[in-house]
Structure formats: structure tokens, C-alpha cells
Structure 1
Amino acid sequence: MPLALRFALRELRSGVAGFRIFLACLALGVAAIAAAGSTAEAFRAGLAAQGRELLGGDLRISVEDRRFTPAERAAFQKLGATVFSAGSRAMAQAQSGERRLVELRGVSPGYPLAGKVSLAGVKTLDEAFKPDGAAAGAAVEQTLIDRLGLKLGDHIVIGNSPFVVRAVLVSEPDRLSRGFALGARVLTRLSTLETDGFLQPGLPDQGETARIAFAPPGVGGPSAPDPVAKALTRQFPKAGLQIRGRDEAAAGIKNLIRQLEYFLGFIGLASLVAGGLGVAGAVSAYLEARKPSIAVLKALGAEGGLIRDVYLIQIAVLAALGVGIGLIIGAAAPLALGEIARNQLPIPALFAVYPWPLAKAALFGLLAAAAFSLAPLARARATPPAALFRRDLTGRLRFGPEIAVSVLAFLGLAGLAIVTAPTPVAAAIMIAGVAFAFVLLWALGWGAALGAAKVRLLARGSIRIGLANLAGPRSAAKTASPAIGLGVALLSAVVLIQSSLLAQVSQVAPKTAPAMVFTDIPGDQVQAFDAVVRQAFGQPLTSKNYLRAPFATGRIVKVRGQAVNLDKIKDSERWAYDNDIALSAIGPEPSEANIVEGRWWSADYAGPPLVAMEVQAAKGANLKVGDAITVSILGREIDAHVAALRKVDWGGFGPTFALIVNPAALAGADLRNVAIAKTGKAGEAAVTRALGRDFPTVNVISVREQLEAATDMFARLALAVRGAAGVAALAGLLVLAGAIAAGARARAREAATLKVLGASRGQVLMAYGVEYGAVGLIAGVAGVALGYAAAWPVVVKVFEAQWSVDWGGVAALVGGASGLAALGGLLAALQALSRRPAPVLRAE
């Protein structure tokens, strides 16, 4: 057995004493990364395993603003079993007069092709769809039953059509793939929607979806959805078919899972970095205790390489132990989550032990251990025997193999984080930010120590002693404040982003956004509609509380006379060119027009078509004022020139249309209108009842209810993210504990000397409280400042929300950091004071 290995194993027999903080720091960060990755992998596996059920078949084909043609239907049915569905938003009214918006969906016989519809009250869809005289049967969500005070067997009116509530709609297998719904879901036969006029051409939010279950490959069915999708696109090149296979059942959710996994994993990585000082401190403290052994070995002729290898083997074994503990915790945490909340998760998950997330977390942990533990080894290897016998392990750090490997490990940490990130550029920015913050906090710690050396001359008694300790060579400001500050910075950034976005949803949006949205207003009855709304509100309608405009959808098909080439438009800016977008026709310039370039046309303009375009939509094709575009609207193409570019506040009270044309451009078109209004709860209830009497086909959307639901969902998500960020703060506290433990021997001698010189227990406790409380205060204030700097651009630039500071949360973070650090100092003082002075001072 090699000599270095024999010596290392001999020393490891003493156990892990002195390495508990080392193990805790590594295990904490590795566990956070492993748990985030394993949970995300469980969700991905669940989506993959149930992809066919989530999609409702092997292939999902949708069109917007129209029904499928007979040729398209025939082509679909040749591929396998096919079912069709279509939907419409409408108002549901109970016999009591209560009304609510619903998402009415009709399905053809044979639905669902994959999975199962879960119902309460009946067993099959045929029973749920059984009519009662002229009333069609329907299954409705429990939320609608609760809000309208219904029970099974009751009759309701949706639009102008009667329905009977036959069953409670618990779940549909393809619900997740259909996305967000504004109202409660109601399921009925597709033929009911067709015969009752819900699918008439020209109504907003129309479209149809086909789901196809392939025949088995052995009897002529295709084996994979991708070739079929490409063949259908070639067969119907101008049909606008939106096709998804079973592997893309929830593409948006998969992307969200990946982003959340990286964000939570990044917090775990930051915890490793914050705990890195604890790793370095633990190694330094251990080598400090082993100085006599190192000195003897060197005096007997041992080379520096042997010294390094002896302790490198020990650190490697202990690092593997710490990583192993973290992997066990990280693998077990998702399994525990699955047992506790399996039936409450909105996304299917297969909780198991997944090798890749654990391997990635282990690699992060080992790289962190190498990055932070090799520098103390380099110092011990380079220190001469005489210095070791003098208890001096503070030799100059020279560049050597240990430092080279340490630098490579740091680069490996950064590279692995970037390679595994969904967005490498964003990951590089985040890593650079953490590195900058760490260096800044380290410099601040040294600056605080130098400042304490100056300020102590002005103080007296215990405060002076505490400041002197803060300025001394073992100052916790140099070792613990960077780690505590980084943890507080991450936690404060999460708190500030959460408080701003939560305030935007719960406070700012209700003041600036409409309380109600009305859709499907008949164009020939707008004056009567305005009168009903005015009477229900009990006040005049002004531009401050009411806005109504015609509504249509169209697609930009040409830019400057050339057909739109999507390949030349960034993916993030294609939304205005690869789909139909909302547009309107408005004469006089409205309030909140927000013109940034060009000008609005006059109220009586009747010349060639002009358009006011949303500035980001124009940016996609590099459009400027005066450029020509061609828009396909209602089956005809209109050539228009850009008269103005405007910034649209999509959540504000204004005309939120990507395109607005002058009224003459759509002259003769029978357009339905949409309207928005601001009112209180009483006005909302009054106008809902009034419209149920006079305009039952007009849809009423309560923005207030949607904001309340968004607030609840965001608060729950933010709680999980805040808990993850707390891991980084815990790492900082572990570093503080390590710094206290490493200096325990010196602190005991210091306390004994003070007691011999006449200091009371209270004075010693106050000195320690001042020292460590100052460390926590400095780290807390600096961390909050860094968190503020990181959160502000995210809130203002990325989310374009109003900046709002949770001062209570900020004060709690600073006070918590200072208080916990001071408590750690007091505990250290109590431990030192518990020992009698004489034995401590007689000890070597």
C-alpha cells in the first residue's frame, strides 16, 4: 500500500471530528441540486409516460377561426380513429339569476381516444350527455356548481340554450395540453354546439381540434407522429394546421419545468459557493490541528507532495462522504414529496431515483470540494518545518499544482452550470453576478476588519474588545461575512422579486387593469349595450371607466410588398406573424394610445387604410412609420401603411390590440365589439345580472377573480422558491458556525485571559455579541443591497412590473442575519466561559 494512503487511513480512524461543518456544507448544496433535478425529472417522466393520454391520442391537429374542411377530415380519418372537438366561451345562468363565464366544449362520439374522463354522479359520458327534453345533457366542473348554487339534475342556460347538469366533471385526460381556461369547464356533445349556433363563423375564439389514435403499425398504422405531421403539412400547406405529437403533449410545461429546475438548482449551486468558505475553513482548521504531525514528517524528510497526498486522500474520502449524504437526502426528498402530495400535484409525476440528476449534483459537489479545499493544502505543503513547529501555518500561497487544479475546478463549476442551463447566456450572467457578489462581499469583510481597527480607538470596554476581535487575524468578518452575505443576497432577491410581482398582481393590477371584460357584443346593438351598462353602474361612462371597440382577428401576410418570411424573424418576435392577432378599428385617438412614433389619423379620416402598430410587433419585421403591410382580415387582404407605432400596456386600461386600423378600412364589415370597464364588486354583480336579461349571449369575464386566482398560485410558488433560497442562507450560517468552531481554542484562551484580568461574564458576552452582531449586520446590509441590485432589473426590465419593496421582509432579513450571528457569538462566549482559566492557560 502506498505510504500516503497508509498514513491517510491511519488518521481517518479518528473519525470525522473537525469535519462536521465541511460535511454539512457539501451535503446541503448537493442535496438542493439533487432534489431540484430529481423532482424535475419525475415531472418529465410523468409527462412522457402519459404523453398520449395528455394529448388525447397520438396526434393533435388544431385550426383557428374555422372548422376543418371535408378533405381535411377525410385525410385525418385515414390515419386512424379520429375524434373532433370545438369550444366556445359563453355565459351560464342558473334559475336563481346568478351568471358565470364558462368554457363550453363539445366532443364527438368516441371521445376520449386515450385516457379516461373522470365523472361524479354518473359512470359514462353517454349518461352525462343524456338530454332532458329540449335541454342537452352536460358535465360541469364543481366550481360552477358551487358558484351558481346548483345540484345534479338542475337546468341552466348557456348563451340562449338550455342544458341539464347530469354530472360533475372531475378531470379530462387532455386538459393539461389545452392550457389555461378563463371560466369553469362544461363538457357536452359537439353536435349540440353545432345545432345551437355556438360555432357560427365570425365568432371570436373559434376553432376546431382533431385527435387521432394511430392504428397499430402491423395493420398499416404509422409508427411515429413526426413523419405524419410533416406529410399533413405538405398536403395542406396553406391550411394553418397546428400539429403536435404525443411527445409534445405539454411543451410549454416542459419548458417551465426546465427553467424552474435550473433556477432552484442554481440556488443550490450558490449554496455550495457560500458553503465553500466553510469547506476551506474546515480544511484549514483541521490542518492547524495537525501541524505537529506535518512538522515531524517534514523534519524527517517527507516531501511536500507526500504531505499533500496524505491529507488530499483524507479530504477526498470525506468529500465523497459529504456528497453521498447530500445525494441520499436529494434523492429521498422527491420521494417524500410524492408520498405527501401525490394527489394534489397538477402535473403527472413518476417519483423514483433518477441517475442523471444525482450524477450532476455529485459532480457539482466534488468540483466545489476541490475548488475550496486545495488552497489550504497548498499552503501546508509549502510551509517549512521550522514555521510549523512555531505553529505558523500562514505561509505565502504560491502557484502550484493545487492552485492550478483549484482554478480548473472553479471553471468546471461555471462551465457545468452553463452547459446544463436552459439559457446559457442568462446562466453566464447569473454566474458572473454571483462571482462578483462573492468578491465584493469578501472585500467588504476585509474592509470592515480594517475599519474596526480604526474605530476601536474611539470605544471603551466591551465594545472596544469586540471591535478589536473584529479587526484581528481570526476575524469572522473575513471568513463568514461573504458566505452570510451571499445567502442573504439570494434570499433578499427572491423576497424583493416576489413582493413586487405579488403587489403587481394583487394591488397595482386591480387599480390599473379593467375589472370586467365583455366580449361578443353584437355590432348593431352597441348603443343599447352601453345604455344597459350605464344604468347598471349608476354613473356616466367615461374614458376612465369604460372603453368599447370593434374586434376582429387578422394575420400579417406581407411586409413592404413581400410575403412574410418567418425564417428572418426571431422566434421571440414571431407571435405577430405566424398566427392571427387581435385588431380593431378606431376613429378618434383613444386615451392611453401611447404613441411613440408617428401620429394618429384624424377622427374623420377616410383615405387609404392606415394602421397603428404595437412597437414590439413592428420590431419583429423591422417596420417603421410609412412602411406598407398587408393584413388578411375576414377572408380579404387589406394593404395599409403604418401611421404610428404605439406601446401597449397589455395589463392596463386601454386599447390592447396589436393592430388598430382606421374605421374606413373595415367599412361594411359586421364586427362584434369588445369592451372593458372599471367598477366595484356591487357594479360587477349588477351589470352581470342586467346583461343576463338583455344580452344573454355577451360573455362577461371577471378580471378580479382571475387576479385573485393568480395571486394565490403565485404566492404558493413563491413560497417554494423562497424556501429554496433559504438553503443558501443556511449555508452562510454553517460557515459562521465553522468559523466559531475553528477559533474555539483561541477564544477559550482569550476568555480565560480576560477573566484573569478582571473582566466579568457580562463584559465578555457583550464583546462577543458586538463582534459577531457586527459581522451579521454588515453581511445582512450588504446582502440586501446586492439582492436589491439583482431584483430591480428582473422586476422592471424583464417583467415590466412596478417596483415595490417589502420593507418588512428586508428588515427581517437584516435583523435575522445580525441576530443569528450575535447569537452564535454568545454561544461561543458561553462555551469559552464554561472552562476554568487555569487549565486553559496552562495548556500548550
Structure 2
Amino acid sequence: MSVLSEARTATGAAAAERGRRFATLRLALRFALREMRGGLKGFAIFLACIMLGVAAIAAVNSVAAMMTGAIAGEGRAILGGDVRFNLVQRPASAEERAYLDSLGAVAETISMRSMVRPAVGGGDPALVELKAVDGAYPLYGRVASTPAEPLPALLAAPSGRFGALAAPELFERMNLKPGAVLKLGRAEIVLTGVLDREPDALSDGFNFAPRLLVDRAAIEATGLLQPGSLYEYDYGVRLAQPVHSKDLTEAANARFPSAGWNIRTSDRAAPSLQRNIERFSQFLTLVGLTALIVGGVGVANAVGAYLSAKRGVIATFKSLGAGGGFVVTVYLVQIMLLAGLGILAGLVLGAVAPFATAGLVSAFLPIAAEPGFYPGALLIAALFGLLTALAFALVPLGRTRDVPATALFRDISGGAARRPRLVYLGAAALLALAIAALALAMADDRKVAGIFLLATGIAFLILRGVAFVIERLAKAARPPRIVALRLALANIHRPGALTASVTLSLGLGLTLLVALATIDTDLRREIAGNLAERAPDFFFVDIRNDGIDAFRQRIAELAPGGTLEAAPMLRGRITRLNGIEAAKVKVPPEGAWVLRGDRGITYADAVPKNSRLTEGDWWPKDHAGEPLVSFAAEQAKQLGLTLGDTITVNVLGRDITARIANLRSVEWESLGINFVMVFSPNAFAGAPHAWLATLAIPDATPAVEKAVLNGVADSDPAVTTVRVRDALNAVNRLVEQLAIAIRAAAAVALVASVLVLSGALAAGNRRRIHDAVVLKTLGGTRRLLIASYCAEYLLLGLATAGFAIGAGALAAWYVVARIMALPFHFDWGIALATLLAALVLTVGIGLAGTWRVLGQKAAPVLREL
């Protein structure tokens, strides 16, 4: 009975304790709501910081979800079927085609790059992305054209010439109109209309040239499909019976283990685009998170200023017997309710983003982007906002926890310098770790996300250290004779100074701006300058094996001083590494591209130009043993390959296994003829192949380039000529489009910095009012106060800009030199712009915020002292 009695007593005590806690919480909620009736004065910056960061994250993820949803919704049309089988440099065999026909309706397409030129009247040739389709194309979706006639009628052969549809860019580039006749290989084609929309364009990846759509029979008449030429066969299948994608892939590979085909299903219709969307949205999310973290400093400033203004109320609470925990609960409730308002406003802006950008997405991508609300994206943004607000609010709340009532009545600063209990610091640290864990969990590339978060955290800590050093230096400095400068130094190191707030708020935003601007500048310089200078002037593809000598002679006639480099080339797909299926090998994201799709491969009896051996030995010229391969050292390391390992490559439907004989360093940035894999010549003995060549012309003039283009097209229409300048311009245009989004993201972070800076200065206005009144009472003039404030803000701006320039340059160097493997150059114009921005922001916002201080009447303030 005694045990039962004790249990009942303990249960009753626990219930009573829960009741007391609930009553305390209810009372705290009542006080919090009553106190909020006075309005939200002082929390405008708080709300703006939370709203901006949440809106950025919600908008980025909502737009990304809209784009990936649109791709998934149109997966069959984008892919050109329920499933698509891709073969390189060969059509499906009779047995393979019979198998495909057994699955359902099949549409066959052939894709390659080629040259076209006006059939009459002369004119320069132009590069096109040629695509030949059969009568079943498209299985899903439709081709939009002008005129809007059936596709078979537009691609028919009127008057003995096949019809063709061309993208608008080709008409503009060659100054053509519908009805123009073009020379394509050995055949002539008529442009019967404009290709407005191609349903499966996204599945083909990024194109450097305009699309030219012809009939399947037309490409046979051109003579372009030579043995060894670079072309692809795609077989889109509309399945007669639903089949699970994994089961279908396994069955097809088991039936034809040496086919070497790449099988894609409609649930991954455009994997390259989807990966790019995921990575870019990840990057923008991290930048938005940085803006939110910068805004967190504003949250801490706003909460600290609010609690300082409430010191009389807090003192009254404590004088009437309220504990520190009760006081913290009251104001924590208020702060989280206000944070909820900021989060809600940010979610509204983020939810509207898909509706505002749907038209822009549809203009850039040939998909119908249907905007909607994406709860997952909004929930993630709300969670980031809630965790950030709570993490940065706990420290100022913790400072108030243990301040006695007497100190609150006497201390103007409200105990701002008091260190909070470890439990509050620990809770804030755990919340910061939770934010980092959430960011890593959503990241597609956790390594990049981890580096970004680690760099942000280190920058945050270093900025705290920079603020501490500035304060120590100001305190240790010999008092100058100039009174304004002496006051400025005192303001920098006194208790409750703005030094930490200014450096933290402005430092992170400017650092991010410097880093992104430097990366963008270096990338543009490399593409438009260094790469263009080092790169050859022309690439030539699909040179017939039996015509390489004649081609060399023709180039010598067209460009006497030019340097021609040529190498045999085939296309192959890595199917096994050390006997293990490539699809089952786990590799880091930076090396996955080697196993994705087919690669250009070659053979050679000597070390290629632009390469040097790092491990192993080259094979002798008369090597006749097992096939050997030289692998690029960097890519081998990413794939976990070493000397003696084996790789299996499927070429023209045959599996060839070779042993790694050596590793070599490759100068990819030269844009010359470089290959990941170089095989011993005996590996491809007798295999049909073409040649790849580059041509560098010293001091090439437009007239010489035009002569080369026309001369090669005249002598061998099957050779595809790529002018490197045009390819680099296409890449540069893509970089420009990406840079717009990156600059917008950086602008969000900088706006957050400006908001936080404004809030920090506003939070310090109360102390400055007292200082200004005392100084004016003792004879100080308005000019003296303005001069001291300007000097203070100039010193803080210079110190913050110096850190931002150094840290931003270091981050940009890591990305450019280590990740992109490009030459790093720091633009001092960016440094100067950053310095000016820091000074304008600190002095401008500082004076704007303190102007009211200078006009404050003395009597009301002196009565409160």
C-alpha cells in the first residue's frame, strides 16, 4: 500500500507541475499579446530581414519545382516516347529492331551536326544540328511550325527536292526566307517553313547550332552517313503494355548485352537539364540562406534594441516576483509571433514567384510551365526562417534572463554586454547546426553545399574577430588631437558600440558580392580572351579515314601558314570498370560525366600533344598484345582507377576491354584535341572511323576564315566545320544568362546587409541621443557631431570593405582555380567598387539614421538621466 500511495503522490505532483507550467505559459502568452497591442514599432527591419530571406528561398525552390514538374509532366513528349534507345554511330540490327517493334510503336530519328550552304547565289556555309525523322515521328506531342501544316507534307520532296524545317536562328544567320534552297551534303533541300517548336528538343541537351529537321529518306540522299561519321540513332517507343522502367532496362540489356545502347525512360526525359536545374537551385538556395543568415544579425539587433527599450517593463516584472524564465517566455512568444508574420509575408512572395516567372521559363525552354503552389518548397523556406529567427533571438533573450531589476532600472544599455547562460548559447549553436543539416539534406552536391556553409560559418566567426580587433585597436590608439576623430574612436570601442553589428551585417553581403563578381569576371575573361587566344580557329569533324591525306593537302592550300592537328576518333560508352557494371559504380558528382553517355576516344602510338605522362609507360609502336589504354589522371582518380585496372568500352556494338597502362595529365583548357581515353592502335584494328582535326591560323583575318569555310565545304561537303569563335560566343551567351540570376541572388544578400545595417544603426540611436544631448550641453556643435559620426562610419566601412575584398578574393580563387581549374585574376576595379559601396552605405545610412539624433531637444532626455 505504501508503494501505491507513493506512486499516486508522485503522479499527483507531476500533474500539478504540468498544470503550473501550463498556467505560466498561458499567463506569459496573455502578457505577450497585451504588450503587442502597442504596435510593432522597432520591428520593421526584423520583419524585412526574415521576409527577404524566406522569400528568396521559397521563390527559388518553387520555380525549380515548377520547372521539374513541367519536365516530368511532359516527359513522354520531351523524350519522344515512353522509352528511348540511343545508339552511337550505328543503326539497330535487324534482331534489335524486331525486339523494339515488339514493345510497341517505334519512331526512328537520326541526329548529327553538318554544314549547309545556299545552293544558288553563293554564300557562306553554316553549322546546323541536323535531325532526320520518319513517318511515325512524333509519338507524343506535336511539331509547331509556320505554316501550320502536317509534318509529312512539309518534309516531302516537291520537284525532286526534299523539304526541311529550320529554326528561326538559321533564317536570321543566313538571311534566308521560306522557299530558299540549301545544299546539304550531296543533296539539295527546300526550306518549307520555320520550326517553332520541337517537342523532344530538351532531351537532346544543349545545341550550339540551329536545328534543321528533314525526312528520314533525305539524310540517305545526302551521303552524310559514312562509316565512322559522328551520328546517333534514337528509337522512341510508345509501349503497347505498361512496363516498369527498371524491368524494361534490365530485360533489354540482358537480351542484348553487347548492344551498348543508352536506355532512357520518360521519368528521366531530360536528365542533364534536371541536374542543372537542381544544381542551380541549390546554389541560389545557399545564396538565399546566406541572405537569411545576414538577416539573422538584424534579428539579433532588433531583439536586443527591443529588449533594451523594454527594460522598465522587464524591471517591473522582476520587481513583482517574476522569474527570468517567465520574462524570457513572454518576449520569446512575442518574437516568434512577429517572426511568423515575416515568414508568412516571405512565403506569399515566394508562392507568387512561379506565376510571375512562368512566361519567362516558357520563353527559354520549350515546355508549358504551369505555375502552382508548391507546399514542399514553402515548408522548407518556412523552416529555414523559423530556425534562423529562433537561433539569433536566443542570445539577446539570454542576456536579459539573469539581469537583476536594479541593473535594469539603472543601466541604459539594458545589460547588453552581459554574457547569456551556456544553455542559451548551446541552444543557438544547435539551431545553427540544424540549419546546416537541413541545407545539406536538400543539397544535390553535398560537398559543394558543405564548403559553402563552412565558408559562411568561418566568415561569420572571422568577422566577429575583425570587429574585436577593430575595437582593440581603437582603444589602444593614442588619443588624436582632432576632437571629432577622438570621439569616433571612442564610439568604436565603447560598450554597446556598433562595430560588431556593422562588420557582420555589411561584411557577409559584400564578401559574397566580391566573390561572385570575381568569378563572373574571370569566367568571361577566360571564355572571351584567354581561351579564344589559346584555342584553334577551327574544328573539323567527320573527315573520312580514306580522305585524311587529301584534307591535309587542301588545308595547306587554303591556309598556308596554319597548323593542322588531326587524330582518329570513334565514339564509345564505358560499360564496365574492373568487370563491374558502370551503372553500379559509385563515383563523386565531378567524375560522373565520364560514365554518362558516350565519349570520344582515339588511338595513338605516341603520347598526344597537350598531355604528359604522370604514371606508367607508353606502349611500343608495334604493340600487338592485349588492348591497352591511357587514362586522364584527374578523371581516373575521380573514378577510383589505377594502373593495371581494366575498363570495358562499347564501340559500334562491340565490347572492348583494355588495361590501363599509364595515366596522363591533360591540358583541357587548350581546347585542342584532347581525350579522356587513348587506346593502343591494335584495340580498333579494322574498325571504321573518321578523323577529328583542328586548325590554328596565325593572325587569321575574316577573309582567310571565309576562304577556309567555303573551301572545305566545296571539296568535301560531308566534313563538319566548327568555327571556335562561334562556339565560344554561344557559351558566353549562356554564361550571361546564368550571371543575371547570380547577380540577382547576390543583390538579395546585399539588400539584406543594407537592412541589417539600417537596423543596427537604428538600434544604437537611443544611446546616441543621450551622448549627443550631453555633448551639446557641454558645448559640442552639430558640425562636431556630424564630423565624429562620419569619421566613425568611414573607419568601420574601410575595415569591413578590406575584409570583404580579401575574403571574397580568396573564395573566388578557390572556385576559379581549384574547382574550375582556370587561371585566377583579381580585378581591382571590383575592389574599388566594393570599397566605395561600403563607404557610401555606412556613411550614408549612418548619417540618415542619426540625423534625428542631432535635432533632439535636451530637456526631455536630461530628465530621464
Pair in the same fold by TM > 0.5: yes
1:187-226, aligned counterparts within 5 Å? Answer: 187-200=213-226, 202-215=227-240, 221-222=241-242, 224-226=244-246
Normalization by structure 2: what TM-score?
Answer: 0.90
From the superposition, tell whether residues 77 and 528 of structure 1 become closer, same or farther in structure 2 (CA, over 3 Å): closer
From the superposition, tell whether residues 456 and 487 of structure 1 become closer, same or farther in structure 2 (CA, over 3 Å): farther
1:348-363, aligned counterparts within 5 Å? Answer: 348-363=368-383
**Alpha-carbon distance, 1:13 to partner:** 0.5
Residue 514 of structure 1 aligns to which amino acid in structure 2? P
From the superposition, tell whether residues 227 and 526 of structure 1 become closer, same or farther in structure 2 (CA, over 3 Å): closer
From the superposition, tell whether residues 331 and 629 of structure 1 become closer, same or farther in structure 2 (CA, over 3 Å): closer
Q: Is this contact kept in 2: 1:277–1:480, CA < 8 A?
A: no
Q: Is this contact kept in 2: 1:105–1:186, CA < 8 A?
A: yes
CA distance in 1, matches of 2:297, 2:594: 50
Q: Report whether the alignment pairs 1:45 with 2:65.
A: no
**Alpha-carbon distance, 1:117 to partner:** 0.4
Q: Report whether the alignment pairs 1:242 with 2:262.
A: yes
2:744 to 709, 718, 723: 723
Q: Report whether the alignment pairs 1:647 with 2:690.
A: no
CA distance in 2, matches of 1:298, 1:60: 73
1:689-768, aligned counterparts within 5 Å? Answer: 689-768=710-789
- The superposition leaves residues 464-492 of structure 1 with CA deviations (integer Å, 9 ceiling, x where unpaired) of 22121112223221222112111111222
- The superposition leaves residues 177-233 of structure 1 with CA deviations (integer Å, 9 ceiling, x where unpaired) of 111223221111112223443334x23322311112234xxxxx2165443333323
Q: Report whether the alignment pairs 1:263 with 2:283.
A: yes
Q: Report whether the alignment pairs 1:181 with 2:207.
A: yes
Quote the residue 2:56 is aligned against: 32
1:418 to 440, 451, 454: 440
2:308 to 288, 291, 311: 288
Q: Is this contact kept in 1: 2:185–2:223, CA < 8 A?
A: no
Q: Is this contact kept in 1: 2:164–2:189, CA < 8 A?
A: yes
Q: Is this contact kept in 2: 1:516–1:703, CA < 8 A?
A: yes
**Alpha-carbon distance, 1:623 to partner:** 5.6
Residue 51 of structure 2 aligns to which amino acid in structure 1? A
Moved more, 143-152 or 431-440: 143-152
CA distance in 1, matches of 2:711, 2:360: 46
CA distance in 1, matches of 2:641, 2:388: 49
Q: Report whether the alignment pairs 1:570 with 2:584.
A: no
**Alpha-carbon distance, 1:362 to partner:** 0.9
CA distance in 2, matches of 1:349, 1:552: 39
Q: Report whether the alignment pairs 1:686 with 2:704.
A: no
Q: Is this contact kept in 1: 2:258–2:655, CA < 8 A?
A: no
Residue 230 of structure 2 aligns to which amino acid in structure 1? D
Q: Report whether the alignment pairs 1:368 with 2:385.
A: no
1:413-812, aligned counterparts within 5 Å? Answer: 413-455=435-477, 457-537=479-559, 539-541=560-562, 545-554=563-572, 567=584, 570=587, 573=591, 581-587=599-605, 590-600=608-618, 611-619=629-637, 644-661=662-679, 671-679=689-697, 680=700, 681-812=702-833
CA distance in 2, matches of 1:694, 1:795: 42
**Alpha-carbon distance, 1:409 to partner:** 2.1
CA distance in 1, matches of 2:583, 2:73: 33
Quote the residue 1:218 is aligned against: none
Quote the residue 1:309 is aligned against: 329
Q: Is this contact kept in 2: 1:258–1:422, CA < 8 A?
A: yes
From the superposition, tell whether residues 203 and 825 of structure 1 become closer, same or farther in structure 2 (CA, over 3 Å): same
1:122-137, aligned counterparts within 5 Å? Answer: 122-137=148-163
- The superposition leaves residues 354-387 of structure 1 with CA deviations (integer Å, 9 ceiling, x where unpaired) of 1111111111111111111122222222111111
2:346 alignment partner, SS class: helix
CA distance in 2, matches of 1:271, 1:805: 24
1:594 alignment partner, SS class: strand
Aligned sequence identity (%): 36
**Alpha-carbon distance, 1:141 to partner:** 1.4
Q: How many residues align?
A: 832
Q: Is this contact kept in 1: 2:260–2:653, CA < 8 A?
A: no
Q: Report whether the alignment pairs 1:58 with 2:78.
A: no
- The superposition leaves residues 622-669 of structure 1 with CA deviations (integer Å, 9 ceiling, x where unpaired) of 665677777666677878765543222234154312333465766666
2:242 alignment partner, SS class: coil
2:675 alignment partner, SS class: coil
CA distance in 2, matches of 1:649, 1:442: 42
CA distance in 2, matches of 1:653, 1:375: 54
Q: Is this contact kept in 2: 1:41–1:354, CA < 8 A?
A: yes
Cα RMSD of the aligned pairs, angstroms, is: 2.7
Q: Is this contact kept in 1: 2:573–2:649, CA < 8 A?
A: yes
**Alpha-carbon distance, 1:517 to partner:** 0.3
**Alpha-carbon distance, 1:771 to partner:** 0.8
Quote the residue 2:186 is aligned against: 160
**Alpha-carbon distance, 1:557 to partner:** 7.4
CA distance in 1, matches of 2:370, 2:400: 49
Q: Is this contact kept in 2: 1:5–1:313, CA < 8 A?
A: yes
CA distance in 1, matches of 2:357, 2:574: 47
CA distance in 2, matches of 1:607, 1:45: 53
CA distance in 2, matches of 1:50, 1:365: 33
CA distance in 2, matches of 1:631, 1:36: 40
1:395-414, aligned counterparts within 5 Å? Answer: 396-399=418-421, 402-414=424-436
Structure 1: gaps spanning 5 or more residues? 216-220
Quote the residue 2:132 is aligned against: 106
CA distance in 1, matches of 2:431, 2:646: 56
Quote the residue 2:4 is aligned against: none
Q: Is this contact kept in 2: 1:555–1:581, CA < 8 A?
A: yes
- The superposition leaves residues 560-588 of structure 1 with CA deviations (integer Å, 9 ceiling, x where unpaired) of 8x687764563655766786543334456
1:458 alignment partner, SS class: coil
Quote the residue 2:28 is aligned against: 4
From the superposition, tell whether residues 49 and 606 of structure 1 become closer, same or farther in structure 2 (CA, over 3 Å): closer
Structure 2: gaps spanning 5 or more residues? 1-22
**Alpha-carbon distance, 1:40 to partner:** 0.9
**Alpha-carbon distance, 1:132 to partner:** 2.8
Q: Report whether the alignment pairs 1:227 with 2:247.
A: yes
CA distance in 2, matches of 1:807, 1:770: 25
Normalization by structure 1: what TM-score?
Answer: 0.92
Q: Is this contact kept in 2: 1:82–1:213, CA < 8 A?
A: yes
- The superposition leaves residues 410-467 of structure 1 with CA deviations (integer Å, 9 ceiling, x where unpaired) of 2221221122222334323322221111011011112101111223513522122212
Q: Is this contact kept in 2: 1:605–1:662, CA < 8 A?
A: no
Q: Is this contact kept in 1: 2:526–2:822, CA < 8 A?
A: yes
Q: Is this contact kept in 1: 2:487–2:788, CA < 8 A?
A: yes
- The superposition leaves residues 297-344 of structure 1 with CA deviations (integer Å, 9 ceiling, x where unpaired) of 211222222222221221121111111111112222332223566434
Quote the residue 2:9 is aligned against: none
CA distance in 1, matches of 2:34, 2:684: 89
Q: Is this contact kept in 1: 2:228–2:689, CA < 8 A?
A: no
2:668 alignment partner, SS class: coil
CA distance in 1, matches of 2:181, 2:776: 86
Residue 803 of structure 2 aligns to which amino acid in structure 1? A
